[in-house]
Amino acid sequence: MTTDRFATVYNDRDVYPKIKDVAKELGLAKQTVKNKAAMYRQRRKDGEKDLPPLISRSKVLRAHEPRELMSELPSKFSGDMTPEECIQELRNLAEEYPKKVISRNFFRVNGAIAESVWNRHFGTFQEFKRQAKIKLSRGAHAIERKVAIHASRDVYRRVGEERLELGDVYTRDNGNEWKTVLVGSDLHDVECDPFWLRVFIDTARRINPDVICLNGDLFDLPEFGRYDVDPREWDVVGRIKHVHENILAPLREVCPYTQIDLIEGNHEVRLLNHLADATPALKAVLSDLHGLSVSQLLGLDRYQINYHAKSDLAATSIQDMRRELGKSYKNYWDCFIAHHFPQGRKFGLPGWNGHHHSHIMWQQFSPIYGSYEWHQLGAGHRREATYCEGEKWSNGFMIANCNINTKSTAMDYIQITDFCVVAGEWYYRTVDEGKGNPAIWPGR
């Protein structure tokens, strides 16, 4: 059977019965014959000349031989083949099919040597391809990866450089030695508990603090997180606008002269990293945000907010990212440390962290500060989270007071359940804010 004759058969309308007959005649699988014919037809269509026989005589003869093991034909086994001869066979096949990726299965079917022949010399097919110089060596591949990592870092750093200078743009000081800081952590945009937010904003209005510290994860953006979120329900732009309109704007309205600080958390880093990537899918989702600076995106200029970030966005591994995020903190008058992560407790000053959404207090001692407190804050995030065990969280915020001359501190943590008490004022959760919802308060 000539290749021209089979090409004519393949072009006929009634192709499948003829392929079946040809496969039976040759002792090959129907799919094998069909694939060969299609490949030959395409190569002729591309204008190639001097094509090799479609199916060699040796292959036809091997097809009729009994198989002892899968892919191990007696005619393919040669116990005295050298590594160089194996490599030459692989290179010959690669040259015969220049547009084909030579996979292990492709070589098993189309090659002239059994797997056990090359396997004893090279171990894996990937190493076999490396030795044949049709796949990058480990060293060359490692260099490519390093180039890719550094190219990626350049992109992230260009986005990140702007935010490193935003920590003290709107610093304010009334000259008083007594200072008050209102601290809220982990609000998570639209996931913020409405009762928590109402109390927090009203507390800011009543006590008029020197500083409002938003202690990281002001945004949630689960689209960029590790939890499974249906991409069809993404609303990144809506979440960012919610923060601007329902959190930052009311805070600035009730405290027009208060310094507001945003400590960078892991969720803010995710947002900036994904904007730096600017993939086609994200361009569609984030179309309303393109061209915005970091200040405009986070609402820093509009609401006069300081953004405290010292991490390098170019960190590539999880370990590097955690280490970099640990650099973002704020030292208030050498009296308090505001840190999004618990490692701030090791700094030797009173202070607080967030991130874990549960309140814990540690009693610490320093020869300079004496006995002092470190607080892990409850979250502003509502407890009925659908993607993790939010019922085990706690809600709350803190009022921290200090004397910047004596370095003495006093912290008042406000626990929020279905009610709370702040400076003698009682607040009660309404039905609209989740009162009676067993997901928030089991058994109530």
Each residue's pLDDT tens digit, 194-226: 999 999 999 999 999 999 999 988 988 665 555
**Contact partners, residue 258, CB within 8 Å, separation at least 6:** 172, 204, 208, 209, 210, 211, 212
CA–centroid distance for 443 within its chain:
37
Nearest to 410 by CA among 227, 179, 255, 204: 179
Give the model's pLDDT for residue 60: 44
pLDDT score for 109: 84
Please name which of 439, 427, 443, 430 lies closest in space to residue 200, comparing C-alpha atoms: 427
Domains, in order of start, for the chain: 3-131 (no CATH), 148-428 (3.60.21.10)
Residue 225: the pLDDT is 52
Count CA atoms within 13 Å of residue 239 on its CB side: 23
**Predicted local confidence at residue 410, as pLDDT:** 94
Q: Which pLDDT score is estimated for 278?
A: 55
What pLDDT sits at residue 49? 62
- In the chain, count H helices and then E strands: 17, 13
Q: How far apart are CA 332 and CA 210, in angstroms?
A: 11
CA 214, CA 265: separation in Å to the nearest integer?
A: 10
Ramachandran quadrant class, 230 (left: phi over 0; alpha: psi -120 to 50; beta: rest) = beta
Continuous segment of H or E residues that includes residue 411: strand 408-416
pTM of the model as a whole: 0.64
Give residue for tokens 């304010």: 172
Given a cut of 50, the residues of the chain with pLDDT beneath it are 1-6, 8-10, 12-16, 56-71, 280-285, 443-444
What is residue 378's predicted lDDT score, i.e. its pLDDT?
Answer: 95
Residue 320's pLDDT is: 67
What pLDDT does 68 receive? 45
Pairing of strands 370-376, 360-366: antiparallel
